[in-house]
Amino acid sequence: MKTIRGKLLVYFFVFIFLFQITAISIFVSSNELTNTYNDSFQRFLLLNKISQNASELYTATKSFVNDSNTGNSGDYFEIKANLEDNLNRLSETFYYIETIEMKNYINLIETFIHETGLTIGFVLRDDTEQYMNHLEEAGNASDYISESTLEIIRLELTAYQSFYDDLQLRNNNFILFIVFLFLTTILLAVFFAIWFSKGITRPLEKLSAAAEEVASGELQGEPIHIRTNDELRLLGDTFNQMRAKIHDLFEEVQDQSELDRLVKEMELKHLQNQVNPHFLFNTLNTISKMAYMEEAKSTSGLIDSASALLRHSLGEIDHRVPLKDEVKVVQDYFHIQKIRFSERVTFHLEIDERCLDIEVPQLTLQPLVENAFIHGIEGKEEGGTISLVIYQKHGNVIVEVRDDGVGMGQSKMDQIISLTRQQQEGVGHSTGIGLTNVIRRLELVFRENHRIEMDSEPGKGTVIRIILPYDKEGRE
């Protein structure tokens, strides 16, 4: 399968290759022009040097004739060597060395060198007549060399004029080539950008339209067909599979939701009807004894607390109520148990009033307090203390139910938190609702797990901590 990244790399290297070829072509063409110009310039310099060497050699010859000492002889031979070296370079530099003009020019230089050599020889022999004749011939040859040099330079300039015209034509063509290259590059870049972007945007537009259909609830739209052989095709196929699975899951969830609703209704009705007769008996027995021993005020208060608790427990527990109502139920429960057990049980409230307006599922706090009483305090001879603490922390409302009772081990806490087993906590409870039920309802209402934390050690008591979202005010 090709990838988008691979395609981009291929296009990038193709453009780089084209630009490199163009750059190399321009460099080769420019280098040829530079070499041609350099060769022509070197020929001009060589002709100029030959003309200068010829003049200097003739001057050195005359100086030797006038004063035939060793110093003048050394100058002559040094200049002669330079002239001969330049003459050899002449045959290597000029491509038209076989022409009549160049042959005559070379022969003239060789004759001039020969005449200067004869002049020097006859001077050494002290043959005045001979060296004067040869000196005159050398002078004439030197003049002819100067004239011939100018003629060859003129011919070279004529050839250079052709080269210059060609250079101007190449320069004009090069400007046109640059303009053409610039326009072609822009057009190619625009073409490939549009073509490549369409290969990406068209599949994305299809995916976006299909995603909008799914967002609007249409889960049975036409499948997306993407013909590109890259990640977008895989994305389209995956999206088709995802939409089909979502549709299947949606139908499954609808069926399961209806079933859960029916089961929940039956479960709630069953829980509402689980009022513990033992608790009612104990409460009524206590009320009876109080009515016998005391005047009607205490009895009235106890009856009010019991009736309020019963009324709250028999309500619809799938509804949500303000946290202050739950606190009021806990206070009524504290009142009843305080009268039943007198000094054996101490109840403590520490509440931040700002936290009491959030909403929680009905019968959330009282089952936790009762759980602390039954499983933590009731079995201790010396009794104990149960505390309800409500405060704010990190944008949440924290509700803690603390007791200094018998406590429990880690395995017991893990079973309660993870709901790994069905616990018969309704037995012995006033409302028939235990800790497991509270955990389940909190998770269903707030759609999050771990809304309840537990800390406990055997013999050191238990802390049950509820974490409620303060900023959402108990709503989803």
* Sequence-distant (≥ 6) Cβ neighbours of residue 227 within 8 angstroms: 233
4-191 maps to CATH 1.20.120.1730? yes
How far apart are alpha carbons 251 and 244 in whole angstroms?
Answer: 11
Residue 428's pLDDT band, with cuts at 50, 70 and 90, is: very low
Predicted model pTM: 0.42
- pLDDT per residue as tens digits for the range 170-229: 777 778 877 887 888 888 878 877 877 777 777 777 778 778 777 777 777 777 777 777
Selected residue with higher pLDDT from 233 and 425:
233
The DSSP-derived string for 179-238 is: HHHHHHHHHHHHHHHHHHHHHHHHHHHHHHHHHHHHHTT--S-PPP----SSHHHHHHHH
Instruction: Give the pLDDT confidence score for residue 337 in this predicted structure.
Output: 82
The CATH class given to the 275-469 domain equals alpha beta
Kindly tell me if the per-residue pLDDT of 422 is higher than 50: no
Q: Residues 432-460: what's their mean pLDDT?
A: 74
Amino acid letter, residue 189: A
Helix (H, G, I), strand (E, B) or coil at 120: helix
Kindly tell me if the per-residue pLDDT of 392 is higher than 80: yes
How far apart are alpha carbons 279 and 270 in whole angstroms?
Answer: 18
Instruction: Give the pLDDT confidence score for residue 224 in this predicted structure.
Output: 76
Strands 320-322, 396-403: pairing is unpaired
* Sequence-distant (≥ 6) Cβ neighbours of residue 154 within 8 angstroms: none
Instruction: Give the pLDDT confidence score for residue 313 in this predicted structure.
Output: 61
Q: Which of 40-44, 301-305, 392-396 has the lowest mean pLDDT?
A: 301-305
The domains of the chain are located at 4-191, 275-469
**How many CB atoms neighbour CB 305 within 10 A?**
22
Kindly tell me if the per-residue pLDDT of 244 is higher than 60: yes
Kindly tell me if the per-residue pLDDT of 464 is higher than 50: yes
Kindly tell me if the per-residue pLDDT of 72 is higher than 70: no
Strands 384-393, 359-361: pairing is unpaired
178: which 2 tokens? 């640059």
- pLDDT per residue as tens digits for the range 15-39: 787 777 877 877 777 777 777 777 7
